[in-house]
């Protein structure tokens, strides 16, 4: 049985004409060779897997081929064969800069340069990851680059051109390799699948291409794996398992739930995503990608690397949102990915962030607040601020009236505002004050406002606006259970770092050491989630004390 050659090697371009996705570099190098204008040192820079090494080999063949015509290597002569085959050509030396980064390695190389080439015109050195060379090694190389022998050519390649000293760069002809578009990669993959008679489900190659993020080699490697896993026929499930990619429908559902402010749906979708084995960071990264594309579409642009069908979907999502809403969502997601780097309990971060996303819908624009719009505005809340396609008209204009009865007016108001899944009256952090604290001119800024204001991050502030009961009592920061459902803070599995952080912020606000106390936490698990959009009338009528008998009532 013949040994299997991976696709990335088998379909490596072997001439300037075969190069995919770097037309400018190929054209300039080709004409430089053809017209005899090629220099003696080249620096290829660009992300990994976009064709730098392939291009270096093609260039080496073009320099040394015995039968080259008009700058094109023949691909047939012994030199071309040696470079293409095993890379084992006496006059073309490939060096990995990462593992040969010492000054001695460069000295050996220079020493060898004294000998003339064995079978071709030039001795050619291809140095990969050249930025990894030590300073001394660069200095040694510099001397040779300044006055190279006529028979020497250097092709340096790097993913980080700025780490290559300016003195080296200035002596090279520089070529910048770009990431390939998903379309170019998809076309190439489809071409290869046709040649190899591999059947691929619709849409899978596009997803592979986008996951490769502009790198052809990564795309080919992934396709290779999928063909192996599927025993000749790649399947979507393997792709999702190997890459942590989520189905587009699921991501779309999460964004839609956020757009219409459905906390319950978004929590369920997040559970579904994590249940499929996606890491919290994968989920946040893919949501960020989608929201970014919607943002670009909202702003009148066209999201990069999306198929026509996806563009249609993005267009729909864009008409249901606005630039400001998308910016606010991105803000939350970017912060979530920051936090994920620092914390172990990724699930907590994801849930807090997604709940925050769903609540953005209900926030009142700061501009309206500053303009003095009434706190409990009868108009429907808008997303952070206007934009095209606001769906404000579809929102009910007020929460349903609770049954009249024995409910204390203050508790009743809270329940009305925070009922599960109900659109809430417009509110933004500083505005959500109990009416009585506003009425008292003696307390211009109460503890809750100052505490929320002092929180270090915006999304944390948004999340904590759900907690009406935030006060100081007996040397403790006391927070009571929010009325509108599950709270990550009440999750017993969450670690105590967040609670400690909150106590610290509160201590700073009060100017004295406070510890943290949570009320109603023990009821968190027992409480069945209410159905969205249909707050049980009985619950609305209940006072907070009735709902959490163990909870201590805290007035502020």
Q: Minimum distance between the CB of residue 79 and Zn ion, rounded to whole angstroms?
A: 5
Strands 41-45 and 92-96: unpaired
Please identify, among the stretches 66-74, 172-180, 223-231, 368-376, the one whose residues bind Zn ion according to the rule CB under 5 A. Answer: 66-74
Does residue 59 interact with Zn ion by CB under 5 A?
Answer: no
Please identify, among the stretches 16-24, 77-85, 106-114, 541-549, the one whose residues bind Zn ion according to the rule CB under 5 A. Answer: 77-85
Does residue 354 interact with Zn ion by CB under 5 A?
Answer: no
Binding mask 126-165 for Zn ion (x = CB under 5 A): ----------------------------------------
Q: Minimum distance between the CB of residue 89 and Zn ion, rounded to whole angstroms?
A: 11
Q: Minimum distance between the CB of residue 44 and Zn ion, rounded to whole angstroms?
A: 21
Residue 73 vs 488, nearer CB to Zn ion: 73
Strands 41-45 and 173-176: parallel
Does residue 121 interact with Zn ion by CB under 5 A?
Answer: no
Phi/psi for 467 (5° steps) reads -90, 100
Residue 80 vs 140, nearer CB to Zn ion: 80
Please identify, among the stretches 3-11, 65-73, 220-228, 350-358, the one whose residues bind Zn ion according to the rule CB under 5 A. Answer: 65-73
Which residue is it, tokens 């499930």? 237
Q: How far apart are CA 116 and CA 148, in angstroms?
A: 13
Residue 65 vs 478, nearer CB to Zn ion: 65
Q: In what order do the strands lie in the sheet with 173-176?
A: 92-96, 123-128, 152-158, 41-45, 173-176
Q: How far apart are CA 212 and CA 230, in angstroms?
A: 19
Spatial CA neighbour of 337 closest among 280, 290, 289, 296: 280
155, 124 in Cβ contact below 8 A? yes
Please identify, among the stretches 76-84, 250-258, 344-352, 367-375, the one whose residues bind Zn ion according to the rule CB under 5 A. Answer: 76-84
Residue 80 vs 363, nearer CB to Zn ion: 80
Q: How far apart are CA 341 and CA 325, in angstroms?
A: 25
Binding mask 9-48 for Zn ion (x = CB under 5 A): ----------------------------------------
Residue 120 vs 449, nearer CB to Zn ion: 120
Does residue 65 interact with Zn ion by CB under 5 A?
Answer: yes
Q: Minimum distance between the CB of residue 112 and Zn ion, rounded to whole angstroms?
A: 23
Spatial CA neighbour of 246 closest among 296, 212, 189, 284: 284
Q: Minimum distance between the CB of residue 43 and Zn ion, rounded to whole angstroms?
A: 25
Question: Is 224 strand, coil or helix?
Answer: helix
Instruction: Give 171's strand partners.
Output: none
Q: How far apart are CA 152 and CA 346, in angstroms?
A: 54
For Zn ion, the binding residue among 62, 77, 140, 298 (CB under 5 A) is: 77
Please identify, among the stretches 68-76, 106-114, 133-141, 412-420, the one whose residues bind Zn ion according to the rule CB under 5 A. Answer: 68-76
- Give the 3-state DSSP-derived string for 472-505, with helices as H, strands as E and coil as C: EECCEEEEECCCCCCCHHHCCCCCCHHHHHHHHH
Residue 59 vs 185, nearer CB to Zn ion: 59
Residue 92 is classified by DSSP as E
Spatial CA neighbour of 354 closest among 288, 281, 270, 247: 270
Q: Minimum distance between the CB of residue 83 and Zn ion, rounded to whole angstroms?
A: 9
Q: How far is CA 417 from CA 377, 534, 536, in A?
A: 12, 14, 14
Phi/psi for 399 (5° steps) reads -70, 155
Q: Minimum distance between the CB of residue 92 and Zn ion, rounded to whole angstroms?
A: 12
390, 501 in Cβ contact below 8 A? no
Does residue 92 interact with Zn ion by CB under 5 A?
Answer: no
Does residue 518 interact with Zn ion by CB under 5 A?
Answer: no
For Zn ion, the binding residue among 6, 32, 38, 74 (CB under 5 A) is: 74
Residue 67 vs 555, nearer CB to Zn ion: 67
Say if residue 404 is exposed, middle or buried (CB neighbours under 10 Å; 0-12, 13-18, 19+).
exposed
Does residue 299 interact with Zn ion by CB under 5 A?
Answer: no
Interface with Zn ion in residues 444-473 (CB under 5 A) = none
Q: How far apart are CA 414 and CA 483, in angstroms?
A: 8
Element containing residue 372 per DSSP (H, E): none
For Zn ion, the binding residue among 20, 80, 284, 360 (CB under 5 A) is: 80
Q: In what order do the strands lie in the sheet with 470-473?
A: 470-473, 476-480, 515-519
Does residue 82 interact with Zn ion by CB under 5 A?
Answer: no
With CB under 5 A, what is the number of residues at the site for Zn ion? 6
Q: Minimum distance between the CB of residue 23 and Zn ion, rounded to whole angstroms?
A: 23
Q: Minimum distance between the CB of residue 61 and Zn ion, rounded to whole angstroms?
A: 6
Please identify, among the stretches 73-81, 183-191, 240-248, 507-515, the one whose residues bind Zn ion according to the rule CB under 5 A. Answer: 73-81
Does residue 236 interact with Zn ion by CB under 5 A?
Answer: no
Spatial CA neighbour of 446 closest among 438, 455, 454: 438
User: Applying CB under 5 A, which residues contact Zn ion?
Assistant: 65, 67, 73-74, 77, 80
């Amino acid at each position: 049985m013949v040994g299997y050659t991976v696709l990335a090697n088998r379909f490596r371009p072997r001439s300037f004409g075969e190069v995919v996705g770097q037309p400018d570099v190929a054209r300039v190098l080709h004409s430089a060779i053809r017209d005899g204008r090629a220099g003696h040192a080249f620096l290829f820079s660009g992300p990994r897997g976009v064709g730098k090494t392939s291009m270096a080999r093609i260039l080496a063949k073009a320099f040394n081929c015995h039968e080259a015509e008009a700058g094109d290597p023949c691909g047939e002569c012994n030199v071309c064969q040696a470079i293409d085959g095993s890379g084992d050509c006496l006059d073309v030396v490939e060096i990995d800069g990462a593992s040969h980064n010492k000054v001695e390695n460069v000295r050996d190389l220079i020493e060898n340069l004294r000998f003339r080439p064995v079978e071709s015109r030039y001795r050619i050195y291809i140095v990969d990851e050249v930025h990894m060379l030590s300073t001394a090694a660069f200095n040694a190389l510099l001397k040779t680059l300044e006055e190279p022998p006529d028979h020497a050519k250097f092709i340096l390649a790097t993913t980080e051109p700025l780490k290559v000293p300016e003195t080296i760069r200035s002596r090279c002809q520089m070529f910048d390799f770009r990431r390939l578009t998903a379309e170019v990669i998809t076309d190439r993959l489809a071409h290869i699948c046709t040649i190899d008679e591999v059947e691929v489900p619709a849409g899978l190659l596009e997803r592979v291409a986008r996951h490769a993020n502009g790198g052809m080699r990564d795309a080919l490697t992934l396709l290779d794996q999928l063909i192996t896993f599927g025993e000749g026929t790649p399947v979507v499930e393997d792709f999702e398992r190997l890459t942590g990619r989520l189905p587009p429908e699921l991501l779309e559902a999460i964004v839609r739930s956020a757009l219409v402010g459905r906390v319950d749906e978004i929590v369920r979708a997040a559970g579904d995503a994590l249940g499929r084995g996606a890491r919290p960071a994968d989920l946040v990264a893919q949501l960020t990608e989608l929201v970014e594309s919607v943002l670009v579409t909202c702003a009148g642009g066209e999201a990069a690397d999306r198929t026509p069908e996806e563009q249609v979907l993005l267009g729909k999502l864009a008409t249901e949102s606005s630039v400001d809403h998308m910016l606010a969502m991105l803000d939350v997601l970017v912060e979530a990915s920051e936090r994920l780097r620092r914390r172990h309990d990724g699930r907590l971060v994801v849930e807090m962030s997604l709940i925050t996303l769903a609540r953005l819908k209900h926030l009142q624009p700061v501009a309206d607040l500053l303009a003095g719009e009434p706190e409990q505005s009868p108009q429907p809340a808008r997303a952070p601020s206007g934009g095209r396609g606001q769906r404000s008209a579809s929102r009910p204009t007020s929460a349903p009236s609770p049954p009249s009865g024995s409910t204390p007016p203050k508790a009743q108001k809270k329940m009305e505002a925070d009922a599960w899944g109900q659109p809430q009256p417009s509110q933004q952090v500083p505005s959500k004050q109990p009416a009585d604290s506003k009425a008292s001119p003696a307390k211009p800024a109460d503890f809750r406002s100052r505490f929320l204001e002092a929180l270090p991050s915006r999304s944390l502030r948004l999340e904590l606006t759900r907690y009406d009961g935030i006060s100081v009592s007996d040397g403790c920061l006391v927070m009571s259970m929010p009325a509108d459902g599950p709270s990550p803070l009440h999750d017993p599995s969450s670690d105590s770092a967040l609670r400690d952080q909150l106590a610290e912020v509160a201590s700073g606000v009060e100017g004295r050491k406070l510890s943290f106390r949570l009320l109603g936490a023990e009821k968190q698990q027992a409480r069945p989630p209410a159905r969205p959009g249909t707050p049980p009338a009985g619950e609305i009528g209940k006072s907070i004390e009735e709902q959490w008998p163990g909870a201590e009532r805290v007035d502020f």
